[in-house]
Amino acid sequence: MDGVLIDSEPLHKRAKELAFGEFGIVLPESVYDSYKGRPDATMLPEILRARGWSPDKIQELSRRKRQIYEEIEHELQAVDGAVDFVRWASTRYKIALATSATARNREATFRLLGIGDLFHAFVDASGHQKPKPDPEVFLIALEKLQLKASQCWIIEDSVNGLKAAKAAGCFAVAITNTFDRQKLFGAGADIVVQSFAELRTLLASS
C-alpha cells in the first residue's frame, strides 16, 4: 500500500523526523532508507532500545509520531496510475492488498482512493505478526485468495518488500516509486517497471 498505491513515504518520514526532533534525536538519511517498507513497530523500538529507552518512552514517541502523521494525512496523494490499474486489474484477476500499515491507515487509504471494494482480500498489521522481509503477510494473503504462490505476482516498491515476495515464492514486480532499478533488481525483483501504465501494458500483452 504505502509507496505502491499511495505516496505516503515522504509523510511518514516527515512525521518521524518531527517526532524524533521533539525528543532530541536526528537520524541520517541512510537510517530512514534502510527502514523503507518496514513498519514503525519495527523501526522505532530497534532505534530507541539501542539508545536505552524504556518501553513506555518508546510508546510515547510512537503515539506522537502517529498524531503528527494524522495531522498531515490530508496531503496524501495516490501514486500516478494506481487507482486506474486497480480498477482494471480487479476485473481480470483476484487481487489482494498485503500491507504492514495499521488497520486504521489501511481504511483511511481505502476511503481516500475509493477502491476498497475492489480487493478480494486484504491483510494489514492487525492480521499478521512478522514484518517484511518475512513473507508472512503475503502467505496470509495467498491463503485468503486460495491461490498458490506460483499463480501470483506481487507488486512492491521496497527492498524489504521484494525480499518478502521472493521468500513467499511469488513472481516479484518492482515499481520504481521509492528505489532505483539497480537496488530493486538486487533485492530479487523479477521485473522492474517505471509506472502502472507500463505494468498494465505488460500484463495485457502476456
pLDDT digits (tens, 9 = 90+) for 43-82: 999 999 999 999 999 999 999 999 999 999 999 999 999 9
The pLDDT mean for the chain works out to 95
- Specify whether 109 is located in the same domain as 171: yes
Which CATH number fits the domain that encloses residue 57?
A: 1.10.150
- Specify whether 86 is located in the same domain as 138: yes
Single out the residue in 43, 75, 107 at which a domain terminates.
75
Q: Report pLDDT for 187.
A: 97
Single out the residue in 75, 95, 128 at which a domain terminates.
75
Q: How many domains does the chain have?
A: 2
138: which residues sit within 8 A by CB, 6+ positions away?
A: 98, 154, 164, 165, 168, 170
pLDDT digits (tens, 9 = 90+) for 78-113: 999 999 999 999 999 999 999 999 999 999 999 999
Q: Which of 96, 118, 76 is nearest to 168 (CA)?
A: 96
- Specify whether 62 is located in the same domain as 129: no
Residue 117 lies in a domain: yes
Residue 4 lies in a domain: no
Q: Report pLDDT for 138.
A: 98
Q: Report pLDDT for 35.
A: 87
Which band of pLDDT confidence, cut at 50, 70 and 90, is reported for residue 39?
confident
- For residue 133, what is its C-alpha cell? 522481509
Residue 163 lies in a domain: yes
- Specify whether 95 is located in the same domain as 66: no
- Specify whether 114 is located in the same domain as 54: no
The C-alpha angle with vertex 7 and arms to 69 and 141, in degrees rounded to 5, equals 95
- Specify whether 124 is located in the same domain as 186: yes
- Specify whether 132 is located in the same domain as 199: yes
Which band of pLDDT confidence, cut at 50, 70 and 90, is reported for residue 173?
very high
pTM (2 decimals)? 0.86
Which CATH number fits the domain that encloses residue 189?
A: 3.40.50.1000
- Specify whether 43 is located in the same domain as 144: no
Single out the residue in 75, 103, 119 at which a domain terminates.
75
Which of the 8 DSSP states describes residue 131? P
Phi then psi for 16, rounded to 5 degrees?
A: -70, -45
- Specify whether 98 is located in the same domain as 19: no
The range of the structural domain enclosing residue 17 comes to 9-75
Contact 66, 82 (CB under 8 A): no
- Specify whether 89 is located in the same domain as 168: yes
- Specify whether 122 is located in the same domain as 69: no
- Specify whether 109 is located in the same domain as 144: yes
> What is the rounded average pLDDT of the residues 157-162?
94
Is residue 13 pLDDT above 80, yes or no?
Answer: yes
